[in-house]
Amino acid sequence: MRSFYLCGAQSVGKTTLIRELNRRPELASLRIEVIDEVARSLIKQDGIDLNVFQDYRNHQEQFYQFNLKLVSRYLDMARQDRLDDESSDRLKLYDRSGLDAVNYICTYLPHLSHRMLGEAAVQHLIDEYSSSSAFVSFIVMDPQAEFIEHDNVRLPPQLPELQKYTENLKQLLEQRGIPRVDLPERDLDIRVQRVSELLLNRDGNGKELDD
């Protein structure tokens, strides 16, 4: 089994990309299981006030604890994936990863980044992703101005902040030795084609795909 994590800041087109991938006939036989973004279900499940995100500077501890809880959820899923049969031909495509939650704190509340990176759950999550790199692939989407649209749920999207988030995420993956594939293209069709090739090839080495 291989897990693909489609990562990036809010409102960069991840959900749109997944929707388009579901329409590709060449992927139909791969039995891809799409894992929806955990944050949305957690917000609904816990009845979290959306002001925690839209006015996060005035709700710093709540924002921190929410993202830490996300880390724990993704840690549980990563551990379960590791326990699954590695010889299985199943593919999982995650809408975001636990490191996105870590990166939200590092980017938007940088004075709390040391605290977040020192959390046991974060350390265990990084260990899971690092030790499973033969079966885990990270795809990082760069923000493009034309894809930005505020969903009135998460943080208001501002391009400079989205770019900072993306650079921080790439640095976080690189520093922890977790391979990644960058997706900087503006054209949606090219994005879909590149990720389709990645899924079809089950490519987990983090190298750039040929155009």
Residue 166 amino acid letter: T
Write the CATH number for 186: 3.40.50.300
Instruction: Judge whether 154 lies within some domain.
Output: yes
Instruction: Judge whether 39 lies within some domain.
Output: yes
Closest CA to 139 of 72, 68, 191: 191
Instruction: Judge whether 125 lies within some domain.
Output: yes
* Domain containing residue 130: 6-201
Overall size of the chain counted in residues: 211
Taking only the tens place, the pLDDT of each residue in 175-193 is: 999 999 999 998 999 999 9
For 110-148, letters b (16+ CB in 10 Å) and e give eebbeebeebebbebbbebbeebbeebbbbbbbbbeebb
Structural domain count of the chain: 1
For range 115-129, the mean pLDDT: 97
- Whether 87 has a pLDDT exceeding 50, the answer reads yes
Q: Residue 137's pLDDT is what?
A: 92
